[in-house]
Amino acid sequence: MAVFSSLGFARVPPSPRTALSSACSHSIKMCASSASPSESKKTVWVWTTNRQVMTAAVERGWSTFLFGSKDLGKDWSSTARINPLFIDGLEIFDEKKQKIAVISEVSSPGELELIQPDNVEVENIVIDFRGGWQVIPAENIVAAFQGCRGTVLAVSTNSTEAQALEQGLDGVILKVEDMDDIIKLKAKSQLMLTKATVSKVEVVGMGDRVCVDLCSMMRPGEGLLVGSYARGMFLVHSECLETNYIASRPFRVNAGPVHAYVAVPGGRTSYLSELQSGREVIVVDQNGLWRTAIVGRVKIESRPLILVEAKENGGDDTNSIFLQNAETVALITPEKGSSGRTAIPVTSLKVGDEVLVRKQGGARHTGIEIQEFIVEK
């Protein structure tokens, strides 16, 4: 089943076009993917004349809008930071009047076969299915654009269509006048989290740990994905819970030492030491629902550390993380975990406790997953 991301949507399993993502990297991408290599980055543009739809889309991270009227585009640009595109016949232009996409109207499988995507001089190809996309088998759509060097988007008139059309394409243009379609599409933003059983808790020496302060508040059950290895990252809880020692700081995650990986948008990881004001990270909750947030400040200080190791239930992989030895630092537990708690402070953590981890590919280069043999220990 396909799973939508907070700024776009992902496909599972990947289609034959997955290998083409590097060839399409220069097209206008306004979405972020989850931190999994199999959940490909997707593009979402919104085509509407309804200001409520625009507002709902901007609040959920979509910022590219199509307009038939330059006046409407100018008006909305004054109220929100958006990327306006303008439709003129079967062509789409940006604010500088540069052509960035062409529209192909298709009403039958035969018309689809007549499209020659490699002859198009722009990087974005928009398919407008006249008479309904259902009349064209999904495999025909994939075959028609396999090997295409550009980004292929399909016009969709509701969130259900958008979910179906993502197979084989790079994204959708959501042409709607009802904000519920925006809300429904965003609501399907979910990552796959795995239960893991703690196998080791050990107090170690001092280390430089990183507190990540966000420009957004976090709720109980939300945190950042952090780990010593990119193949498996722990869900570290925010400091939104009250303790006996310190007031709640719902904007902060005491995330771990400088060497640790943290999940960031675009299917990438970053070292905690690389984060700075203005960068984006992925905030994930206990159910795998995620959103992006902007880093407001990073604090690096020397503190005593604890090593935590956990094995995925039913698997052999051991995941590892170092965390500050403090009651305010906690790992998020499964929603119906045996502890009955949202999170367990590392000072109370013991062998046999269940926590949540995010399993993903192992080899990384500059934060991007690569197909390469690698051993981390």
Out of 121-125, 330-334, 352-356, which region has the weakest mean confidence (pLDDT)?
A: 121-125
Out of 40-54, 151-165, 316-330, which region has the weakest mean confidence (pLDDT)?
A: 151-165
Q: Which amino acid is at 50?
A: N
Q: Indicate the pLDDT class of residue 139, thresholds 50, 70 and 90.
A: low
Is the per-residue pLDDT at 16 higher than 60?
no
23 is written with which tokens?
Answer: 């060839």
Is the per-residue pLDDT at 363 higher than 70?
no
78: left (phi > 0), else alpha (psi -120 to 50), else beta? alpha
Out of 16-25, 301-310, 332-341, which region has the weakest mean confidence (pLDDT)?
A: 16-25
Q: For residue 35, what pLDDT is reported?
A: 34
Residue indicated by tokens 């206008």: 28
Q: For residue 262, what pLDDT is reported?
A: 96
* Higher local confidence (pLDDT), 106 or 310: 310
**Mean pLDDT over residues 239-267, rounded?**
88
Burial group, residue 331, by CB count within 10 angstroms (0-12, 13-18, 19+):
buried
* Higher local confidence (pLDDT), 227 or 268: 227
Please report, for residues 123, 149, 234, 266, the alpha-carbon distance to residue 25 in angstroms, rounded to integers and kept in the order given: 10, 10, 30, 12
Coil, helix or strand for 195? Answer: strand
In the chain, % of residues over pLDDT 70? 72
Which residues make up the CATH 3.20.20.70 domain(s) of the chain? Answer: 43-187
Q: For residue 52, what pLDDT is reported?
A: 87
**Mean pLDDT over residues 169-193, rounded?**
77
pTM of the model: 0.56
Is the per-residue pLDDT at 374 higher than 90?
no
Out of 170-174, 187-191, 253-257, which region has the weakest mean confidence (pLDDT)?
A: 187-191
Rg (CA), the chain: 22
Q: What percent of the chain is helix, strand and coil (3-state, nearest 5)? A: 15, 40, 45
Instruction: Give the chain's end-to-end CA distance (angstroms, integer).
Output: 34
Q: For residue 120, what pLDDT is reported?
A: 60
Domain 43-187 class, CATH top level: alpha beta
Mean pLDDT over the full length of the chain:
77
Q: For residue 14, what pLDDT is reported?
A: 34
Q: Indicate the pLDDT class of residue 260, thresholds 50, 70 and 90.
A: very high
72 is written with which tokens?
Answer: 């409407």
Out of 125-129, 186-190, 209-213, which region has the weakest mean confidence (pLDDT)?
A: 186-190
Q: Which CATH architecture has domain 194-361?
A: Beta Complex (2.170)
Q: What is the DSSP code string of 267-325?
A: TEEEEGGG--TT-EEEEEETTSBEEEEEEEEEEEEEEEEEEEEEEETTS--EEEEEEES
Which residues make up the CATH 2.170.16 domain(s) of the chain? Answer: 194-361
Q: For residue 239, what pLDDT is reported?
A: 94
Q: For residue 214, what pLDDT is reported?
A: 96
Q: Where are the alpha helices (DSSP H) in the chain?
A: 51-59, 70-77, 109-114, 138-145, 159-165, 179-187
